[in-house]
Structure 1
């Protein structure tokens, strides 16, 4: 009987030790997996050259989220295409930028948020910044030889600024309801876009300092038209009408 009791005691000790060893083994495996995952994420996330950035999104609560969160940053320093940053509700969109020769992605917010900034320092095309409801649109700019995108707001917001410092075409600034339109300007040899407001707003200023043609300023209802001027080199001024 004592021998049987001793055997059971030894079996209990061995079983406990076995479980402790298994637990330690599991912990080592988890730690190893975490290190491997970190290495893989670092390798995949380091897209400093000629890579394509992916999509930042999350369907449930937190960052990069369809509801009430803030989206992260998507950027690529060289020759890649940036992904898409979007938020469907009440959040702020992040920043999409590309320092060289790439195309910037799309920044949009369907409800009550502020859109981020879309910019490209060299020879690329800027994406689209839009907000369907009650928000302020961000800034679209290109420092060199690219085309600026579109800035628009369908309801009660203020449109941002569209400008190009060199030889590009400026985009369109418009607001369908009760907002103020922004400024469209080009410092050199480009064509200015269109500034219009369909209802009860004030139109902004369209000007070109050198050798370009100014666009159109018009308002369909109860607003004041802005100024159309050209400072140099025989540009044609367009029509002011209300």
Structure 2
């Protein structure tokens, strides 16, 4: 069983429900987002403890930990989330060319950050979370509910919705985190930037295959 199977099953479950009722979009996004964040944290803990993925991939480590609890006790926390603090931690634990740093620095990092504001607003509906959602996701424009935001086009010239873009991101990067062995920081004449370009090209190829599969199911307006 691959580590991202639970996420993929969750996506498939909601995909079937959304075909009949688009009102489920908000809760589908929330459930999948939480699973994706938990997946990233669990993989950080797994790799930091020296346990390879189901694809037999293990990023090069700068620091070694006996198990997840050893790491949590060392950094004096019981909970990790996908934040700048965790990004800084990842940079200290793993070699530069690791899938987590690549994810945090990816071209969709800003989009993912805006989605986190959507997730927090759905979860809390507080004044603070609403303001952050309006600033980061809506760019200070008139308020719309998350269901409407997720249904909107990702870009004006793009046929995909914000929700579909999110699903594509989750699938692509969960696969990358499980196995980045082909792009790891090995001695190469290509150089780091070209290796990063290869990862982007690989993800783009997956996107094309994914888009061809989901276009008929899109929720864009």
Shorter-chain TM range is under 0.3
Q: Which has the higher helix share?
A: 2
Q: TM-score, normalised by structure 2?
A: 0.19
Larger Rg: 1
For CA contacts below 8 A with separation 6 or more, give which structure has more relative contact order: 2
